[in-house]
Structure formats: structure tokens, C-alpha cells
Chain A
Amino acid sequence: MTLPTEHRSLVVVITETALEQTLLRDFDRLAVRGYTVSDARGKGTHGVRDAAWDEAANIRIEVICSRDQAESLLQHLQTHYYADFAMVAFLQDVEVVRPDKF
């Protein structure tokens, strides 16, 4: 069976919890239609972020959108946040049904 799917981009942002509200406001302004936020923990150049309490907690935001929008999101994150915040963002190809939703 072949399900008719279409390609979209999945943007994943892993960053400090402190940034959550700011980023989600940015996303709304950049016309992102939907996102999923989850709590995360890990280790990187800013040390161990073990989510033991707010200041050391991370979030992971996932957005599925068009390639163009995904690139402009990454661009936006790079210009505004990469320098000062613990942040990793990347995009990957995903296949979706209901393409009009994304």
C-alpha cells in the first residue's frame, strides 16, 4: 500500500526554558500555525542542563512547516538567539498526510 504523503520540514529547537514565552511569541509573529513544546534535559557547551529546577531546564519545540518557512525560522533563531543562549536548532525532512494542515 502506498499512502499519498507530502514532504514538509520539521524544525526542532532545543533551548533554555527561560526563552519559551519569547520564542512562542516570535513564532506567532512569523505565522507558525502550530507547534509542540516538551520539557527536555541534556548536556552541551553550556554544561549539564538537568532540569532539576527552572534555571537549568530545557525545552524542545517542534514545528512542521514548509521548507521556506523552516529556513526563515532557523535564520531568525540564528540572528537573535544563538550568540547568547544555550540553543540547538535543526531541520529535517518529514512526510505528512493532510498537507494543507502544515
Chain B
Amino acid sequence: MIDVVVLFFVFGLAAGLARSELKLPGALYETLTVFLLLAIGLKGGEGLSRQPLAPLLPQLAAVIALGVAQTLLAYALLRGVGRFGRSDAAATAAHYGSVSVATFAVGMNWLAVRNIGFEPQMTIILAVMEVPAIMVGIVLARGIGKQTDWRTLAHETFLGKGVTLLLGGMAIGWAAGPDGLAPVKPVFYDLFKGTLALFLLEMGLIVSRQIGELRKRGWFIVGFGLLMPLLSALLGLATGMAIGLSAGGLTLLTTLAASASYIAVPAAMRLAVPEANPAVSLAAALGITFPFNIIVGIPFYHWLTTSIAGATP
């Protein structure tokens, strides 16, 4: 059974493909993004306020290694099989090594609808996994040279909208705890699904615009957009099993690994590796991987988790 929020995405996609006049204001998309990031952060922070933080460090080290491994794998495939130039391969690989918050939110919602719990640290893992791929991507494109302005780049990466709002939300959730959060719960928790639905409607419209670019790029990019998340999912599943996550946590980490960034990474790559064509990476990450993950991927990753890892919810 397909989740209702995903139906909103399908509707947006269909309306976009039919060239409907439907257009949501840009400011709304921005607002929805801010809302979702804060809500995810608050939820994670609230959970973390009930457990010690030190045991999380090895888990974070593991997911950083996961992000690096995914980026290197994607780069090898793009260079070796796809015959991509160095910059295009590095930039696209960075998208696939990083994560998509929207995909995470759909995964969270998928689990919530089925009453499957997951660890609160998934939110920190989400924030941490955004970053390493960007660094690896830049090094792959540039080498460790002086041409890259690492200071500005670190600023853009660590203080970008996504990471700031996730960490800020987490800090508030952690400091306030469940009781302190009670007054804002009606907005951030109860409205989450409706907001996600609206957000996905806009995502459908955005994704529909990638189709033209995909037609130009041919089959390799479509194949890569489908195969890469599956390979990443296996890496994610293995990492999750190694750090001992529950069934819900495993599904989410596998989903995160399979997802490809389309906000933080494009912005960072545009500045750090400007000669890479942004249209190629976005066409794959948004046009293929995002819809695949939210429609087919998440249920499949959960099935994978329960059958391979033998985890039960």
C-alpha cells in the first residue's frame, strides 16, 4: 500500500509532466524545507535527551566511513563505466555519497505509519552524513591543492541551511526534553505529515522538470540512478548491522545510504567544482533516484532489512 504522502508526490509529478499551470510559490517551498528540517531535528533531540551521548561517537565514525565509501564507489562507476570526465564524476559521486533529507522524512513517515520505532540518533546520523561526501568529491575533482578555498567551503558546508537547522532543532529538542516541547508539539509533530505531503507535491513538480535533461543524457544515467542506490543500500545495511541498529534504524540508515543529495551538495559543488555540469548530477539524483527511493526503495529496503538482517520490528 503506497503512503498517502507519496501520492502527493505522484500528483505533483503527473501535473508537471502534463505541463499544468500549477506552481507553488518559491517562498512556500523554502518555508516547508525549514519546517521539515526543524521538526526532524526536534524529534531527534527529544529522543537523545533520554540517553547518554558518548556511545554514539563510534556510530558516527562508522557512518562517515560509509559516506566516504559510497562517494568513492560512485566515482569509480562513473569514471570506469560511464566514461565521465573527472569533474563531472566527482561532483555526481558527491551527490550520491551524501544524503537527502526529503527521502529521510518519507522513510521516517513510512515507519511511523507502521508503528515501527527507530533510534533517535538517526537524526544526528542524517546531519553528519551530509558532509563527508562533499569533501571527498572536492578532493577527487581537485586533489588536495591550494586552489580550493577550504575555509569558505567549510563555512558553506557546516553552516549551510540543512545542517544548521537540523543541529539547531536537535539542540532545542535535547535542551527542552519531552515536557518542554509539549507547547510546540501541535505545530512540529502533528502537522508533520500534512507538511510533508505539501512539500512532496512541490518535489513532484521539480522532478518533472528533470525529464527533459534525462532524455538528453541517455540510458547510462538512468541505470546509474537506479543501480547506485541499491549498491549504497547494501553498504548502508552492512554498516547498520555492524553498529547494531534496530529494524527501524536499519531501514532508515539503508534509506539514507541509498538517497542522493539535491540541496547541500549541488550548492557546494557549484562553488567548489564549477566546471562540473550541475544538470547531469541533478537529473540523476532528482529525476531518477529520489522518485525510485520514495516509491519503491523504502519498502524494499525494509524488506531487505527484515530478510537479510533477520531483524524484527
Contact = CB atoms under 8 A, between A and B. Distances in A.
A53 B270 contact: no
Interface in B187-207: 202, 205-206
B29 interface: yes
A26 to B, nearest CB: 12
Contacts of A18: 266-267, 270-271
Nearest to A46: B279
A47 interface: yes
A84 B275 contact: yes
B274 A84 contact: yes
Nearest to B268: A18
A55 B26 contact: no
A55 B266 CA distance: 7
Interface in B27-65: 29-30
Contact of A55 (B202, B205, B278): B278
Interface string A43-58: 0000110011111110
B267 A54 contact: yes
A18 B209 CA distance: 19
B230 interface: no
A22 interface: yes
Contacts of B274: 81, 84-85
Given A16-B270, A18-B270, A53 B275 contact: no
Interface residues of A, number: 17
B53 to A, nearest CB: 32
Nearest to A48: B209
A53 B29 contact: yes
B279 A47 contact: yes
A52 B266 contact: no
A57 B275 contact: no
A83 B209 CA distance: 25
Contacts of A56: 209
Contacts of B209: 48, 52, 56
B282 A55 contact: yes
Given A52-B205, A55-B266, A55-B278, A22 B26 contact: no
B176 interface: no
B102 to A, nearest CB: 11
Contacts of A81: 274
Contacts of A54: 30, 263, 267
Contacts of B26: 51-53, 57
Interface string A65-84: 00000000000000001011
Interface of B: 23-24, 26, 29-30, 152, 202, 205-206, 209, 262-263, 266-267, 270-271, 274-275, 278-279, 282
Given A18-B266, A22-B152, A84-B274, 18 more contacts: A18-B270, A19-B271, A47-B279, A51-B26, A52-B202, A52-B205, A53-B26, A53-B29, A53-B206, A55-B262, A55-B267, A56-B209, A57-B26, A81-B274, A83-B275, A84-B275, A85-B270, A85-B274
